[in-house]
Amino acid sequence: TVAAILEMAGETRFEFQRLHGMGERLHDIVLRDHNTRCRIYAPVGAHRDLLAYLVRRLLENGANSSFVHQIVDEAVSPEEVARDPFEALATAQPPRSLVAPEALFGASRRNSTGFDLTDEETLARIYAARDVAIPDAMPLTVSEPRGKMQDVVNPATGEKIARVMMVDAETAARAIDDARIWDAPASARAAVLRRAADLYEDHYGPIFGILGREAGKSLADAVAELREAVDFLRYYAAEGENCSDAPRGIVGAISPWNFPLAIFTGQIAAALMAGNAVIAKPAEPTPIIAAYAIGLLHQAGVPKTALQLLPGRGSVVGTAMTSDARVAGLVFTGSTETAQTIARTMAANLAPGTPLIAETGGLNAMVVDSTALPEQAVRDIVNSAFRSAGQRCSALRCLYVQEDVAPHLIQMIKGAMDELRLGDPWDLTTDVGPVIDPGAQKEIADYIAANANRVLHKLAVPSRGYFIPPTMLKVSGIADLEREIFGPVLHVATFRGDQLDQVIAEINARGFGLTFGLHTRIDSRVQEVSDAIHVGNIYVNRNQIGAVVGSQPFGGEGLSGTGPKAGGPRYVPRFFAPAAPSVSAGAWQGQADEARLRGALAGAAPKKIEERLMPGPTGELNRLTAHSRPPVLCLGPGAEAVAAQVAAVEALGGQAVGADGTLPSEALTRLPQLSAVLWWGDEAQGRAYAEALAAREGEIVQLVTAMPDLAHVAHERHLCVDTTAAGGNAALLAG
């Protein structure tokens, strides 16, 4: 390489560079023979900053393609070492293992299209395409809808951007009357969903425009949301196209405002892929993007009888969905409290065993130990806590920092916060946009004011729009958080190095289990913490927001959701009609021994059932495991039914406790450690059991009246590790 440079440079002035301590003999010879200049550089700084740099250089220089590696490898000929790099480039073939971005997920589905927001031509194309008039949001129903019109406003400015018709109760009831399952072959349904994905990508401009103005999404967040929606459509199409099972029937889908396109689309796509009829209720603040998406789905070929949109209040549309016995399933994303209310209403009105798939909130924590790379940790902390104005269910709420590094790290977080720009997300330079509405703004502002004595750092906010200042509060631990604050508020606690086990126990004790972040460079600690923490998604040495469909299935446990995980292999199967009980119901002659059941339930220990690696980019490990839930209580009725139920649960790898007699329904309100109840008997007793389970405090426990599936008996937990976080990619050392 040096000889080639000398030959090509001729009389042109230039200089070589080398790292201090490397290549000294070579450059001494070149200096002597050719009178060249050579700049020597070396890392300068504190010892704590040096380790990651040295590890990165070690990994780079130790890579198989490195000159330093090849020159001492006797298996590489001198001719190969000295080969003209331009000749090598001209004759090189792409590595067979190198996968093009669109082929990241193999033959089953095409990856969603990305947008380079640093490219001026791409930005100009987006700016032109998104500058369109915002349409009104009207119900999309088979029958003529009725309701009242109301304004939709831009949360960044408070200005009216369009109107929406909020349907009345009669329209909601007629939509259920008109709903029909999608009676087409699975292959045809999959083709329609793929066509819808293409239409989503073709209409990126209006989608970005609506997301920015209606939901306060930055352009980067809008791009990510569109890609996630497209991924859902293609992934669920691939997951369900070879399944011939029957649909459940009519499925209600209630989606949130913080991901009004991605989660909305994912719920609908999974239910449609199983052939169900879907009644979709968008969040009240974001009906426009929902109506636009439903229009594209209809354009792609989804029948109107199989997919209807009902914008409206929860007290109207939600009540219709949870009170009509013809509804055969409900999927919901929102608050834990609302999910519990929905579960109680469903238990009272729908058929016993009607499934509720709920993804709810969380008190998400991150632990940063003394070995973490500070710059990397700060980047991920700020992204996790403040991106999207903290309005993600996965957002970081409570940060634990090892006290040895806390002063320095907290100072760095303050500096990084100061660099955040608040403003209208329509502007590309905006980092933090508004919260969704005045109610959210007031609730969060009141919380910050009530904790003014704990404020470590707070930013200023624009004078108009629904903005909340990114704020950092000092707390003693996660127990200080009375509830989830759904906005840009980060709570910070410190811990001693010998208190890590206590910290994990405190986090688990809160009962939520959505996301958790860990920054450490100790591999054994990663394993220990990931085994101990009870959350659905664990992120190591990266931010804890964002989950790629099919690579990082997303969803929580405990107070954070029922499962199965969205974007995972067990989601679509839940929307098909389940297998009927394997035996007929019998009858009990006596009462169950409640004390025995209590002891058996409390004595069960969880175990790992299965583990699989998920696809993803180089430099990232994605692993999905299934861990047994607390036991499934098998109530028969009758000894034969209980035996079949226990066998079904254990065949899936789960834990079961069988009854030995009739159990009063009120006993279900007090028995501990339940994950589900199996009942194959009459509807009246089933409803009593369902209502008793819905009356329990804490996580939602469901009644199963058919054969169970793996998601009934196991928690799905996903681990995502940034494998480059040690300072380089260790995979480069592979022989």
Distance CA 313, CA 166 (A): 7
Check whether 415 has a pLDDT greater than 90. Answer: yes
Give the sign of the dihedral formed by CA 95, CA 97, CA 103, CA 108. positive
116-359 belongs to which homologous superfamily? Aldehyde Dehydrogenase; Chain A, domain 1 (3.40.605.10)
State residue 63's pLDDT score. 60
Q: Residue 681: CB partners within 8 Å, gap ≥ 6? A: 585, 635, 636, 637, 641
Which residues are part of the catalytic machinery? Answer: 359, 393
Query: Tokens standing for 146?
Result: 């009725």
Distance CA 441, CA 240 (A): 41
> Is cis: bond before 564, omega within 30 of 0?
yes
Largest CA distance in the chain: 103
Contact of 465 with 494, CB cutoff 8 Å: no
Mean pLDDT score of the chain? 94
Segment 298-339, tens digit of pLDDT: 999 999 999 999 999 999 999 999 999 999 999 999 999 999
Check whether 730 has a pLDDT greater than 60. Answer: no
The reply to whether 116-359 and 365-560 are identical in fold is no
Average pLDDT over residues 341-350: 98
Check whether 82 has a pLDDT greater than 80. Answer: no
Q: Which of 527, 607, 612 is nearest to 565 (CA)?
A: 612
End-to-end CA distance of the chain: 24
Average pLDDT over residues 589-607: 93
CATH class, 365-560 region: alpha beta
Average pLDDT over residues 170-184: 98
State residue 94's pLDDT score. 72
Which amino acid, 440?
A: A
Which amino acid, 405?
A: V
> Is cis: bond before 573, omega within 30 of 0?
no
Check whether 577 has a pLDDT greater than 60. Answer: yes
> What are the boundaries of each domain within the chain?
2-95, 116-359, 365-560, 582-716
Segment 452-496, tens digit of pLDDT: 999 999 999 999 999 999 999 999 999 999 999 999 999 999 999
Pairing of strands 620-628, 632-634: unpaired
> Is cis: bond before 631, omega within 30 of 0?
no
Contact of 162 with 179, CB cutoff 8 Å: no
Distance CA 683, CA 294 (A): 36
Segment 30-73, tens digit of pLDDT: 888 888 899 998 888 877 667 667 766 766 666 666 666 666 67
User: Helix or strand or coil: residue 498?
Assistant: helix
Distance CA 626, CA 713 (A): 9
